[in-house]
Each structure stands twice: as structure tokens, then as C-alpha cells.
Structure 1
Amino acid sequence: MMSPIKLGVFGSAFDPPTLGHLDVLQQAATCHDCILLVPSAFHAFDKNPLPFGLRVQMLQCFIDEAETGCPLEVCDLEAELLEQNPGRPVYTYDLMAALTSQYRDKATLSFIRGPDNARPDTWNRFYKSQEIEETWPIFTATERVAIRSSEVRNILESEKIADDLQQGLNMLLPSVQAFIINNNLYQTGNP
């Protein structure tokens, strides 16, 4: 019998996926056989990201190009969980419980946490944060690349000069840049 794989779970709005996300994944790849990237379907902290389908497509561009040292997979389970409880945020605890059930006997799961979510003021806002810590191992990345999706969006949404726009795009993998430009995302007046 094969031993279970070490499966990391990295959730985020991925709005858009940035080089900061890539750095977290590169750090976590050293401890995992595979990492699931889980875009939020209904964010618990009242974020209002691009539509789920667009973020999944961006994430697919991202993982097609990302070099981390272990396989990455997009997991859209949050959308299924949202369908089961419409209008209610999909909490990390509920996601991890559903994945644990789904991967029973096939994988040992751990939660991958970026430096932003590791800050106590943010982590303590997570639904059942204590239970998450007690139930699943947590891999916490250190901040080596200080890039936030919100910063990228602000640059792309502003009507700044081309040099600033290029600076914002340089915070992304080229395939994600191309997807954003080709779909005219984040620019003023667009989705």
C-alpha cells in the first residue's frame, strides 16, 4: 500500500495571482508532494473579487507557467461548497474538512498560510482558527516578496502612465499579464 501524499492547500482570492503567491508556493513546495490552489468563491472578509470563473482561468495561466518544484492544481471545491450554502462565506475550516473527507486515505493535508494571514490580527478573524491549528498542520511562509494583489489591482485600475502600468504587470507572471490585457481586466469601467 502506498503511503498518502503530502497535499498542501493554499487558498486565496487570487485576484490576480501574483509573484507574491508564487513565492509562498515555492517555499511550501519543499514540504509537499502537490499543492491545491483554492480560489475563494465567497470571501469571508467581504472582498469583492472578479468573477470566480475569470479567477480560475487566471490561476490556470499562473500554474501553467509557475515553477515551484512540485505539481500545482486548481481546486474549485469552494464553488461547490457555496452552492450547498448560497449566500454564506466558505470558511477555511469547512474547506479543509471537505478536502479531508475527499482525500481520506490518499493524502495528508496541511494548510498553507501566507504572511498576511499569519498575522495574529488577521488569523484570529478566521472562523475556527484554533480548531484549524489543532486539526491540520500549518505551513506559514515568510515574506520574501512583498507583492499584494490589492496593490496590483490599484495600479491596473488607475489611469496612470504606461510606466506605472508596466510596473504593476511586472508583479505577475507573463501568462497572467497576457490574460489580464487580452481580457481587459481591472481597467476602469471593466469587470
Structure 2
Amino acid sequence: MMSHMKLGVFGSAFDPPTLGHLDVLRQAAICHDHILLVPSAFHAFDKKPLPFSLRLQMLQCFIDEADAGCSLEVCNLEAELLEQNPGKPVYTYDLMEALTSKYKGKADVSFIRGPDNARPETWSRFYKSKEIEEKWPIFTAIERVAIRSSDVRKILESSKVADDLQQGLNMLLPSVQAFIMNNNLYQTGNL
């Protein structure tokens, strides 16, 4: 890695990674040389996503196909931090501290925030949100592609008709679609 690369950190459950995530990455790529995608290992807001290993695999499919405008890398640091404190959420502040330490002298680290987390009612729930703002630059994406993972999951979980299923899958990159279908993820009924 070159000295003082601009490194962005984009955390999410990525359950599943969608075209909405890709749009955030494309916006952030303008200001970053490299972006780490960090799936949450233990969500602070009590969400119950798919197992971490499946989300890592899905995210790898996503970045293998995503054309974001800068290099992307899946980072499983949250799982390592969780191992150090089992059963406790890994907070964004702690993740950013660990990454800043890891890349000290090699990169300028900034936080990439999607439009959902930028909402004041959501951002205020982040542990040490004010300290994050003071300590790291924050790139906040605007909402240009209104696709949420929760919407995709609802469609895939409830779809009884092939057209509905295709609508949900169209919110994803083809490689992620294939991974979901091949592993029968989110779908409760037989298709």
C-alpha cells in the first residue's frame, strides 16, 4: 500500500449487499483510493442477520463483480474484535480505532456513512457518535438508489410468485443473486 492512501471504512450488516450499497461505494470512491467493507459480526442494534460466514461469502461475490470506481476489500476485523469480547457489540468507534492503529503511517482513514445511518435519530444511537465525528473524516452518501437490504429480504422471504422473486433479485448484483439462489437464502417456501 502506498503511503497515505485515502482509506474508507464502510460498515453494514450487508444482509444482503445490494445495489444501494454499491451506489454508496460509487459516491465514496471519488474521495478514496481503497474502501474496506466491514460486515457487522454482532449488531449493536440487535439485528439478527444471516451467519457472518455466509455474509462474508456473499460480500466477496459482491466485490468481485462491483465496479465501484476504486479498489474494494472485505474486512473481517469485526469478527476478530468480537472474539476479544464475546457477546458484546463491536462498535463503530472501536472498529475505527483498531483500523486507524493498523494503518497508522500508511493510510488516512475515514468513515463512510450511508444515508440511513446519517439520519440524526439513527446516528445519535451510535456509540460515541460525537467522538467519531471529531476524530475521523466522515463521508456521507446521499440516497440516489432507494434499495434497502430489509426490503430485499422481505420480498425474498415472502415471494410466492416468480415475478416478485425476480423483483427482489433485481436489487442485487447477479453474483449475489446466484449465491442467494444456490444457497436457498432468505426464502421460506419452495420455489
Deviation at residue 58 of structure 1 after TM alignment:
0.2
Q: How many angstroms apart in 2 are the aligned matches of 1:3 and 1:57?
A: 30
CA deviations on 1:8-66 (whole Å, 9 max, x unpaired) are 00000000000000000000000000000000000000000000000000000000000
Shift of 1:189: 6.8
SS in 1 for 2:30: helix
TM-score, length-normalised on structure 2? 0.97
What SS does the corresponding residue of 2:35 show, helix, strand or coil? strand
Are 1:80 and 2:88 counterparts? no
1:15 equivalenced with 2:15 (yes/no): yes
Q: Secondary structure at the match of 1:88?
A: coil
Q: What secondary structure does 1:31 align onto?
A: coil
Opposite residue 129 of structure 2, the aligned amino acid is: S
Query: What does 1:81-120 correspond to in 2, within 5 Å?
Result: 81-120=81-120
SS in 1 for 2:131: helix
Displacement of 1:160? 2.4
What is the SS of the residue equivalent to 1:151? helix
Alignment-derived partner of residue 5 in structure 1: 5
Residue equivalent to 2:128: 128
Structure 1 stretches lacking a partner, 5+ long: none
Offset of residue 3 of structure 1? 3.5
Show the 5 A alignment for 1:3-82. 3-82=3-82
Q: How large is the Cα RMSD of the aligned pairs?
A: 1.1
Aligned length, in residue pairs = 189
Alpha-carbon distance in 2 for matches of 1:92, 1:117: 12
Match of 2:164 in 1: 164
User: In structure 2, how many angstroms separate the alpha carbons of the residues matched to 1:126 and 1:113?
Assistant: 12
Distance 1:170 1:159, change over 3 A: closer
Unaligned 5+ segments in structure 2 are: none
Q: TM-score, normalised by structure 1?
A: 0.97
